[in-house]
Amino acid sequence: MTLARFLLSLSSPDQETIRRRLDILDVHIAVTKEFVRNVDAECRLPHPIWQELADAILGTGDDPTDLQAALTAVFQQHTLEGGSLARPWPHTFGRAVTPDSFCDTLLKRGYRKTRLGAQRFLSRLVRCGPDLARKRLERKYLAVYNMWATYDPKDTNQDPFRVAFPDADEIRSLMGLEHPEGEDLILFVYRLPRGAHPKFPTVADAYAGHWNMRFRPSRPDSPCGYTLPWKRDHPPSPEVVHRKITGRTLLLKVRRAHG
């Protein structure tokens, strides 16, 4: 369901209030302007979630910061609700994160007590082969929250980073990542374990935490989500979200792509 279709179920005054407050976000800052574009294009959220979003907007004043906070609170309750990709699912997925982000995961999950300890663990991890990497990560989650991933649409058994590796900035552009240019990336290539489904990303996934400038919701006929690359000559890459997983299903060694 789209927002436009949902609004038809509301009274005219409520419709006008919601559109007026979205117009406030549309002229507030760049990321909220992008949000309004994306929420209008979103087509995979069901009626009950749109109702919660409408209630949040109607129950908040005209302050754009308050509106953003109210919407984020709703989105945090409704991630991973964009529906699963059609089967057969890709076999091989890839995830790219900064070294600092992965060290944050190690610290927040309690796998290491200090940042220096996390950095040393990561340094050892990228030097070992896939078997030892799986052993070191088999009981460790690769993220704190849900995970965003990509795959090769031409051959879903292949490493999705093989063309761009080891250039972190090429991967960053292809994936639409907001990290500063020149920063290294850590690459994980894995299959999904049983019970983890690749899902279409929605605005709820994109705006449940940090509001991302580099996001576009998928169209109704899309086979998956797609990234929004930085470089115009880069085609969009497939994009999915799934629940957090451990490193038990790693297929390749953990690699560092240099910026």
- Domain borders along the chain are 3-75, 93-257
Residues 52/118, Cβ–Cβ less than 8 Å: no
Mean predicted lDDT score pLDDT of the chain? 97
User: What would the mean pLDDT of 167-184 be, rounded to a whole number?
Assistant: 90
Q: Helices in 81-195 by DSSP H: which ranges?
A: 99-108, 115-125, 130-137, 168-175
Joined together, the tokens standing for residue 136 give: 């070191």
Confidence at residue 179, expressed as pLDDT on a 0 to 100 scale = 72
pLDDT level of residue 83 (50, 70, 90 thresholds): very high
Can you say whether the dihedral through the CA atoms of 246, 212, 64, 218 is positive or negative? negative
Confidence at residue 240, expressed as pLDDT on a 0 to 100 scale = 98
Return the amino acid letter for 128.
Answer: C
Residues 99/122, Cβ–Cβ less than 8 Å: yes
Give residue-wise pLDDT tens across range 68-82. 999 999 999 999 999
**φ/ψ bin of 176: left (φ > 0), alpha (ψ from -120 to 50), beta (otherwise):** left
pLDDT level of residue 93 (50, 70, 90 thresholds): very high
Q: How far is it, in rounded angstroms, from Cα 115 to Cα 117? A: 5
Residues 51/12, Cβ–Cβ less than 8 Å: no
Question: What percent of the chain is predicted at pLDDT more than 90?
Answer: 96
Q: How far is it, in rounded angstroms, from Cα 43 to Cα 218? A: 8
pLDDT at 164 over 80: yes
pLDDT level of residue 182 (50, 70, 90 thresholds): confident
Q: How far is it, in rounded angstroms, from Cα 58 to Cα 66? A: 12
Confidence at residue 71, expressed as pLDDT on a 0 to 100 scale = 98
10 Å CB burial of residue 70 (0-12, 13-18, 19+) is: buried
pLDDT level of residue 7 (50, 70, 90 thresholds): very high
* Number of residues assigned to the chain: 259
Confidence at residue 178, expressed as pLDDT on a 0 to 100 scale = 84
pLDDT level of residue 250 (50, 70, 90 thresholds): very high
Confidence at residue 39, expressed as pLDDT on a 0 to 100 scale = 98
If DSSP codes are grouped into helix, strand and coil, which group holds residue 56?
Answer: helix
pTM above 0.85, yes or no: yes
Confidence at residue 28, expressed as pLDDT on a 0 to 100 scale = 97
